[in-house]
A and B are shown apart, each in its own frame.
Chain A
Amino acid sequence: MSIKIKNLHSVYNEGTVFEKKALENINIEINNGEFIGLIGHTGSGKSTLIQHLNSLIKPTEGEITIDGININENKKIIKESRQNVGLVFQYPEHQLFETTVYEDVAFGAKKMGMDKNEIDKNVRESLEIVGIGEELYEKSPFEISGGQKRKVALAGVLVMKPKILVLDEPTAGLDPKSRKAVLENIKEMQNKLKITIILVSHSMEDVAKYADRLIVMEKGKIVYFDKPNEVFKYEKRLEEIGLAIPKIKKLINRLNEKGYKIEEDINNIDELVNYLERKMR
């Protein structure tokens, strides 16, 4: 599914002394099946933006269309679009509440009015995608490990079969090993389910490897919206915003400043090692 955001403005507490512009003139078009990294630090408006995609916040001005349909048209469409756009919040494990893992995952499917067989099928499928085995189905979601909780919560969104999956900092608080596992899992999911992914993060390092395009936000505005390698050209400007380009890019830039001629589209460590090996032999 494709997303089109046109002239979106969002103002909190309009007309009071606490009035605050959260989003200003946002224009974005995201194609079906794209992997988008949405980057900015706390207060940049990224959180506000993704909540608009689920009508949790309504635009003060402007319009959001998904496959050509205005998502805020009426109540019925809002409900449908909430099914189409799966929103995984930060620390999603904090929303678990049912007595068993299975029931918790099924919650969203039930609410969407799916029938019993469909619910069962979807629950099993989504738990399989995130890597939760059948032996945990009947466990309480409160007695499994932290990493497993997060997976279950993610499955609880996947169960609605969203066409667009929005994840807010899915790796927050995880160690490097689990961080990598979660990101790989998301990428795999995208390939398998052919869905659009919007991954919110404050780390370019994590997102760069997976995203087709990056949206960089600052103070409610979009600063860059381009392919990762294009965005990384603006190292100085990004640093001013409080964002760092991936370390490998930084190293390449420093070396090129000293007279190396490393191609800018090198993204991973092995390519760089190959290059340096040729150079130093």
Chain B
Amino acid sequence: MKKVFCEKVHYDYTYFSDEKEKTIKALKGVDLEINEGEFVSILGINGSGKSTLAKHLNGLYKPLRGVVYIDGINTSQDETIFEVRKYCGMIFQNPDNQIIGTIVEDDIAFGLENLGIKPSEIIKRINKSLEEVEMLEYKDKQPSMLSGGQKQRVSIAGVLAMEPKCIVFDEPTAMLDPVGRKKIMEIIKKLKDKGITIVLITHFMEEAIESDRIIVMNDGEVEMRGTPVEIFTQVEKIKSIGLEVPLCTEIAYKLKKRGITIKEDILTIEEMVGELCR
């Protein structure tokens, strides 16, 4: 079932510079289909339009031209926008700018209160979702006392409590250190295993490797689509876009180019060691 569906989506930003109105075409006719339960990464450098696309997936932005359907609902219709947002939650880049409340549990409650859920159920869901991100012991803590990674986990719990079927992560690890980053990726994988559709916006190729499918954005358009192996084995193309390929994929590619027989679909160190030590 195609639960996330974008067709020929266009989006422009207008701004004023030197007293003239200027337009940036951020999305130039993007098509996107994501199945229920899939884990899709959207890769691209800064300014490629990947974040703009992400914000279309729960109706924060509405397409200038084209359509976006989430669970069969057109995001351009104002009356049903909350259905869209309930279906598809969103985690943003900056952990400081998405927590509302002076203590952790108040933040988780925020979304639930917006849905008009009754207090006893709210308390149940707070515990459950904090448990899920391993932050239950911080329930009464002030968010400002937490590390960036912990704040990000609280944000995930806040979305999770609303029981969405799909979560869009908009560069959730960009401002975290490696320890925090690893933890967030673990949680994302766990949520995928629970059947939640995951859309991960990132420019870290290590994170994209974990996904079922990768979409590479460049200059407002979808440049490539495919599985991680299909994408990263196109070493030259990925590099020309300004992205990285996994070290071992690049080694295999370079060896192959020199006429060495080696498997090309190598992504990880383990796979490389396995191939070289046969």
Which A residues fall within an 8 A CB radius of B? 41-43, 143, 145-147, 172-178, 202-203, 242-244, 247-248, 250-251, 254-255, 258-260, 269-270, 272-273, 276-277, 280-281
Which chain A positions have C-beta within 8 A of B221?
A: none
How far, in whole Å, are A235 and B147 apart by their CA atoms in the complex? 25
Interface 1/0 per residue, B247-262 and A, CB below 8 Å: 1101100110010101
Given contacts A145-B47, A177-B45, A276-B276, A42 and B147 within 8 Å (CB-CB) = yes
Cβ of B34 under 8 Å from chain A: no
Which chain A positions have C-beta within 8 A of B203?
A: 175-176
State the Cβ distance, A241 to closest chain B Cβ, in Å.
9
Interface 1/0 per residue, B92-134 and A, CB below 8 Å: 0100000000000000000000000000000000000000000
Pair A276/B175 contact, Cβ less than 8 Å:
no
State the Cβ distance, A176 to closest chain B Cβ, in Å.
5
Pair B251/A273 contact, Cβ less than 8 Å:
yes
Which chain A positions have C-beta within 8 A of B148?
A: 42
Which chain A positions have C-beta within 8 A of B276?
A: 255, 258, 260, 276
Pair A174/B178 contact, Cβ less than 8 Å:
no
Q: Which of A41, A250, A270 contacts B178 (CB 8 A)?
A: A41
Besides the known contacts A176-B45, A178-B45, A280-B255, 12 further A-B residue pairs in the complex with CB atoms under 8 A apart: A143-B15, A172-B175, A173-B93, A176-B244, A244-B178, A250-B269, A251-B247, A255-B273, A269-B250, A273-B251, A273-B255, A273-B258
Cβ of B243 under 8 Å from chain A: yes
How far, in whole Å, are A175 and B239 apart by their CA atoms in the complex? 12
Pair A202/B177 contact, Cβ less than 8 Å:
yes
Q: 3 tightest CB-CB pairs across the interface, nearest first?
A: A177-B242, A175-B45, A175-B203
Pair A251/B272 contact, Cβ less than 8 Å:
yes
Cβ of B17 under 8 Å from chain A: yes
CB contacts under 8 Å to A, within B170-228, are 174-175, 177-180, 203, 205
Cβ of B277 under 8 Å from chain A: yes
Find the B residue at minimum CB distance from A273. B254
Which chain A positions have C-beta within 8 A of B17?
A: 143
Given contacts A172-B175, A248-B247, A251-B248, A277 and B255 within 8 Å (CB-CB) = yes
Which B residues fall within an 8 A CB radius of A? 15, 17, 44-47, 93, 147-148, 174-175, 177-180, 203, 205, 242-244, 247-248, 250-251, 254-255, 258, 260, 262, 269-270, 272-273, 276-277
How far, in whole Å, are A43 and B244 apart by their CA atoms in the complex? 29
Find the A residue at minimum CB distance from B44. A175
Which chain B positions have C-beta within 8 A of A255?
A: 273, 276-277
A sample of 11 inter-chain contacts (CB < 8 A) reads A41-B179, A42-B148, A172-B175, A175-B45, A175-B243, A176-B244, A177-B45, A254-B269, A259-B277, A270-B254, A276-B276
Which chain B positions have C-beta within 8 A of A260?
A: 276
Find the B residue at minimum CB distance from A90. B175
Q: Which of A42, A146, A251 contacts B269 (CB 8 A)?
A: A251
Given contacts A41-B177, A276-B251, A276-B255, A178 and B273 within 8 Å (CB-CB) = no
